[in-house]
Amino acid sequence: MTAGRPSTTDVYTRRMGFFRRKSQQPPMSPAASEPEPAKAEDLDDLDERGWDAVTQAVSQHYPGAREFHVAYSPGLHFGSALQGCSALPGPDHWFYVTYGLTELWGKDSDDPTTSGFGYELTMRVRRSPADETPPQWPYRALIVLAQYVRSGPQELWLGDRIRLADGVTDDPDGALTTLAVTADPKVVPIETPNGRVAFWQAVALTDTDVEEAKRSTTDEVLERLAADDPLLTIDPERR
């Protein structure tokens, strides 16, 4: 997959399901499972070179940070859209990264230059210094986005807007309704034994932001938001 499509799209999604054209099938229900604590022994016998490359790319930005990892049941090879997702604490935000849109273990595809879909998803969410554990809703929002990637036939592109029917956060009265996709501002693409991996950040937008993007572009809205916060951290209370 490559970035650079000039237009943007809005796709309406229901939490763990999709409003899609009738010709498209919804994702398999196993991918809708709530995340479960990861079991390290489940991966002991696997070649983890793809997994390790993703971990190394992000951990250098959060040295020594405790990793909060969840695994999605029943797992990537049995219908889940992702294998797992990790959250790392920064001084003022939580950083999330997915595992499963790239080839985490051995090389499976015939394309030696690209690992899987070619990217993993990231997200940054506002954190108070007193917060010791990450919020759970980003784990759910990111697997919804991953389900969209896998449900096809459309590809996900930088600049796309994906609207979650139940909202981005777990606040039913929250104003954040849509995820926009952009290149992660810090974690650069890497070359791995399985091919190239980029990191695409999901940024939450309000309906007002979306209307502005329709009049201009998603990139222009994100540039406006980045003027105040270059990391495009999601503030769940933003209106």
Tokens of 37: 């604590």
- Residue 150's Cβ-count burial label (10 Å; 0-12, 13-18, 19+) is middle
pLDDT digits (tens), the chain, 239 positions? 444 443 344 444 433 333 222 222 222 223 333 445 444 444 444 589 999 999 999 999 999 999 999 999 998 989 899 999 999 999 999 999 999 999 999 998 999 999 999 999 999 999 998 899 999 999 999 999 999 999 876 789 999 999 998 899 999 999 999 999 999 999 999 999 999 999 999 999 999 999 999 999 999 999 999 999 999 999 999 98
Amino acid letter, residue 11: V
Determine the pLDDT at residue 20: 27
Provide the strand spans (E) within the chain.
10-14, 17-18, 35-37, 68-72, 84-89, 93-99, 114-126, 161-164, 176-183, 190-192, 195-206
The distance from CA 229 to its chain's CA centroid, rounded to whole angstroms, is: 19
- Beta bridge pairs of residue 84: 71, 99
Compute the radius of gyration of the chain from its Cα atoms. Answer: 17
Determine the pLDDT at residue 154: 74
Residues whose CB is less than 8 angstroms from the CB of residue 40 and which lie 6 or more positions away in sequence, other chains included: none
